[in-house]
Amino acid sequence: MRMPNLSLPPPAAAAPLEEGQALGVWRLIRPLLDGELAHAGQWYSAHHALATEQQAAVLVLDRSDQGAGVMLRYADQAGDLAKLQHPHIAVPSDSGVTPDAHPYLILEGMHGEPLLPRLQQLDLRKRVELLVQLCEALRTAHQQGWLLAEIDPSMIWLDPDGNVRLMGLGLARIPDPTDPFDRGLSLGASPAFIAPERRNGEPPSLASEVYGLGALCRVLVCGWEDTPRGLAPLRSGAGQQWPLLKEAQQARLDTLLRAAMAESPELRTRGAEGLADELREWLGLSPPRSALAPAEPAAPKPAAWWRRWLWLGAALGLGLLAMAARIVEPTEPTASSQHQPRG
């Protein structure tokens, strides 16, 4: 039997969807601007059709190889992703296809909005604090076996409480370094956020993750530009964006950014955990290094010795008094002496 010819719909960008559009049990409210061009589709806010107080964010993907890759990644690890729990990380809970064959993902909850359009409202300290929150969230993800394989700025949000929210579509299982076939899956982030070794076919790693974090740090601190290949961080120094910053603080921040984005993985900051520590130190939140050193045994106070001898002397005195009392205590005559005949 001859098999019929099958073809997929041609690649296409998703057309804007209208308010009230039904996607399963969800109804779209409005599109959300993410402030940049390097993303996989269009974000929308939505509410549940029956319980309108239940909110969600919806990502409608382009009909492309990249969109298909995102859906394949979600299908492959949906069960495991649901176990990843952190207040600053959101993961997809459902998926589907629009009437015009565009795949979409549902992230339930009130997540706020993409960060970049609101970035100008935030001072430098708040921006660095958000980066620390993101790195600390990834510390927890690492402990559960996940890393952020690609960093896309449109996936970094500001939640209703002003905290960072990672829309975790770029999360992937930490690959097994001994398995030559474990290369990880690619979300297809902007090239400016992909480490050099990843562009050469290497699997994602904690070192490639910190490169992407360094690029994101540079975007938030120094600004960005839209290029034909997507959003890219400006390579200017922190002082150009923040001229009132003290010279020593500018130099320290520039050094920190360069270390995170070093070309060689061996020269980069040691993971998101190390980057979080350096950012906290720059903010003045880290304890002094002396406070982290093992404590020396405390020496006895100079005047404390006489107290020990005083207690010892008191105890010895009480013992002697007890012995003296036994010696002077009168003894009663024994029974044999009471019945001895008189001479």
Residue-wise pLDDT tens digits, 205-238: 999 999 999 999 999 999 998 887 778 999 889 9
Find the mean pLDDT for residues 42-55: 94
CATH number at residue 71: 3.30.200.20
pLDDT for residue 123 is more than 80: yes
Residue ending a domain, among 76, 108, 140, is 108
Write out pLDDT tens, residues 258-279.
999 999 999 999 999 999 999 9
Three-state DSSP state, 112: coil
Domain that residue 86 falls in: 22-108
Q: Are residues 122 and 97 in the same domain?
A: no
- Ranked by mean pLDDT, the top range of 135-139, 195-199, 284-288 is 135-139
Q: Are residues 117 and 233 in the same domain?
A: yes
pLDDT for residue 112 is more than 50: yes
Neighbours of 191 (CB within 10 A): 14
Residue 252, burial from CB neighbour count under 10 angstroms (0-12, 13-18, 19+): middle
Percentage of the residues of the chain whose pLDDT score is greater than 70: 73
pLDDT for residue 27 is more than 90: yes
The Cα 152–Cα 322 span in angstroms is 84
The Cα 284–Cα 197 span in angstroms is 33
pLDDT band at residue 9 under the 50/70/90 scheme: low
CB 106 within 8 A of CB 95: yes
Position 329 in a domain:
no
Position 120 in a domain:
yes
Write out pLDDT tens, residues 52-89.
899 999 999 888 777 777 888 788 888 888 899 899 99
Q: What is the pLDDT of residue 35?
A: 64
Residue ending a domain, among 41, 73, 108, is 108
The Cα 324–Cα 224 span in angstroms is 93
Q: Are residues 71 and 125 in the same domain?
A: no
Q: Are residues 142 and 219 in the same domain?
A: yes
Residue ending a domain, among 259, 290, 321, is 290
CB 99 within 8 A of CB 80: no
Q: What is the pLDDT of residue 305?
A: 41
Residue with tokens 């382009």, as numbered in its chain: 62
Position 308 in a domain:
no
The Cα 318–Cα 322 span in angstroms is 6
Residue with tokens 């970035």, as numbered in its chain: 119
Tokens for 210, please give them.
């910190």
Position 307 in a domain:
no
Q: Are residues 75 and 159 in the same domain?
A: no
Position 337 in a domain:
no
Find the mean pLDDT for residues 88-95: 93
The Cα 103–Cα 36 span in angstroms is 21
Q: Are residues 130 and 265 in the same domain?
A: yes
CATH number at residue 138: 1.10.510.10
Q: Are residues 102 and 135 in the same domain?
A: no
Q: Are residues 286 and 179 in the same domain?
A: yes
Q: Are residues 49 and 120 in the same domain?
A: no
Mean pLDDT lowest for which of 133-137, 148-152, 189-193?
A: 189-193
Q: Are residues 268 and 139 in the same domain?
A: yes
The Cα 255–Cα 328 span in angstroms is 86
Position 333 in a domain:
no
Per the model's pLDDT, the better-predicted residue between 5 and 111 turns out to be 111
Write out pLDDT tens, residues 295-320.
333 333 344 444 444 444 554 554 54
CB 222 within 8 A of CB 236: yes
Helix, strand, coil percentages, rounded to 5, for the chain: 40, 20, 40
Q: Are residues 152 and 238 in the same domain?
A: yes
The Cα 71–Cα 69 span in angstroms is 5
pLDDT for residue 281 is more than 60: yes
Position 12 in a domain:
no
Q: How many domains does the chain have?
A: 2
Q: Are residues 119 and 102 in the same domain?
A: no
Position 253 in a domain:
yes
